[in-house]
Amino acid sequence: MIKGTVLIATDICKGCELCVAACPQHCLTLSKQINTKGYRFAELKNEECTGCVNCALVCPDAAITVYRQAKIKKAV
Amino acid sequence: MEANILDNLEVVYQKPETLTDTPFHYCPGCGHGVAHRVIMEVVEELGIQDQTIGVAPVGCSVFAYHYMNVDMQEAAHGRASAAATGIKRVLPDKYVFSYQGDGDLAAIGTAETIHTVNRGENILMVFVNNAIYGMTGGQMAPTSLCGQVTSTSPYGREATQIGFPLKITELIAQLPGAYFVARHAVHTPNAVRKLKKALKSAFEYQKLNKGTCFIEIVSNCPSGWKMNPLDSQKWIEENMFPMYPLGDIKVPGKSTTPSTENN
Ligand SMILES: Cc1ncc(C[n+]2csc(CCOP(=O)(O)OP(=O)(O)O)c2C)c(N)n1
Ligand code: SF4
Ligand code: SF4
């Protein structure tokens, strides 16, 4: 399976939860802590992310950077 | 551990450099943020940052010029398309767009909107329809739905008293000056992808000098609608789309068939 991950600008996030709903892999959730604005922020809750970009597309605050595993390395 | 994982990964999505680092002041979940970002992604991808001039409205997006890292001009309430007309006529080689809410574009600015398109001004007009006046506290807009409760229609919009929701996008699509007219949304990843494609075409059409491109974005206003962001997305699908169906309304090369029914 393709592996990916996201980096969320937690201080920019407003906890709207739209990314959580948009993630087909159900990898996002809202944190228990709050950020400097007082919002619970989005964070990864598992390693199922495929780097599909869906969360970043719906984020109203452009808070998400998405990474995907480069295809090259295979052999261990 | 995180740094390790990131080493083997390549960036597949990041915030466009055509947006400034200033965080949006919009309410959590507000579609204005997505609309700003997608427009700026297109500007970045087309490589036209230094050739693009935007005109900001009065409304929640009044500070669009703080976020969009292109030349911007603020216009008087409703007059963004008139200001954009002047800019484009003086600087015809620039890519000029206006950005307006429904109160700005379809209430106080109705005359400017219609006449800009009727003159076929060679600009892109972006129209963010959230069916309410967000900035001023959730008053009824021309595009508010029948039955919609707002602070100035506390019993729901009653068409016999205050008229029907104004489908201004279908209206202006009939004008010969309109070149490309479409309605999109920002509530799902796929909707955002389609919007981006349409915006890209619209910017590219500006080189052809064929008339006005007009893109409506059906959006939400969680604060004005008094809903959480997720519920507002559902509300869009259940209530906005029957009145404001998505898709192309006027496409270059095809005859005008404005969709007047719900679908
Ligand atoms: C001449 C004038 N009349 C009225 C107002 C008050 N006013 C400010 S924004 C606005 C409407 C905003 O609604 P919309 O264009 O839908 O944008 P939104 O805030 O929903 O994004 C109004 C009526 C004003 N600023 N100037
Ligand atoms: S969509 Fe963006 S602002 Fe909303 S919770 Fe996710 S990261 Fe935060
Ligand atoms: S009031 Fe409505 S339109 Fe304005 S920023 Fe808040 S959610 Fe967006």
| Domain-wise residue ranges, chain B | 30-255
Q: How far is B109 from chain A (nearest CA, A)?
A: 26
From residue B17, give the alpha-carbon distance in Å to each of B44, B73, B193: 7, 20, 19
Closest CB from B9, B12, B37 relative to A53:
B12
- The interface pTM score, or ipTM, of the predicted complex is 0.93
CA separation for the pair A50, A56 (Å, rounded): 13
Among candidate residues B71, B73, B66, B61, the one with its CA nearest the CA of residue B34: B61
Q: How far is the CA of B32 from the centre of ligand 2 (A)?
A: 14
pLDDT digits (tens, 9 = 90+) for A2-57: 799 999 999 999 999 999 999 999 999 999 999 999 999 999 999 999 999 999 99
pLDDT at A74: 57
Of B239, B19, B262, give the one whose Cα is nearest residue B132: B239
What value does the mean pLDDT take over residues B149-175?
Answer: 97
From the CA of B8, how many Å to the nearest CA of chain A?
Answer: 6
Residue A60 · residue B30 · CB < 8 Å: yes
In contact, A61 and B24? CB cutoff 8 Å: yes
Q: How many CB atoms lie under 10 A from the CB of residue B7?
A: 9
d(C-alpha B218, C-alpha B154), whole Å: 23
Q: Which residue of A has its CA nearest to B7?
A: A69
Mean pLDDT, residues B175-203: 98
SS3 A55: helix
Report the pLDDT value the prediction gives residue B260, as an integer from 0 to 100.
45
Query: CA-CA distance, A46 to B187, in Å (whole number)?
Result: 25
**What's this model's pTM, rounded to 2 decimal places?**
0.94
Give the domains, in start order, of chain A with CATH numbers: 4-68 (3.30.70.20)
- Is B30-255 assigned to CATH 3.40.50.970? yes
Q: What's the pLDDT band for B254 if we cut at 50, 70, 90?
A: confident
Task: Please classify residue A29 by burial: count the beta carbons closer than 10 Å to its beta carbon, then call 0-12 exposed, 13-18 middle and 19+ buried.
Answer: middle
| Nearest alpha carbon to residue B251 among B217, B205, B209 | B205
User: Reduced to 3 states, what is the DSSP secondary structure of residue A7?
Assistant: strand
Q: How many CA atoms lie within 13 A of B96 on its CB side?
A: 23
Query: Counting atoms of ligand 3 from 1, which one is nearest the CA of B28?
Result: 7
Instruction: Check pocket membership of A27 for ligand 2, CB cut-off 6 A.
Output: no
- Residue B152 clears pLDDT 90, i.e. is over it: yes
From the list B126, B127, B120, B125, the residue with the least C-alpha distance to B179 is: B120
- Residue B140 CA to its chain's centroid (Å): 18
Q: What is the reported pLDDT for A72?
A: 63
A53: which chain B residues are within 8 Å (Cβ-Cβ)?
12-13, 189
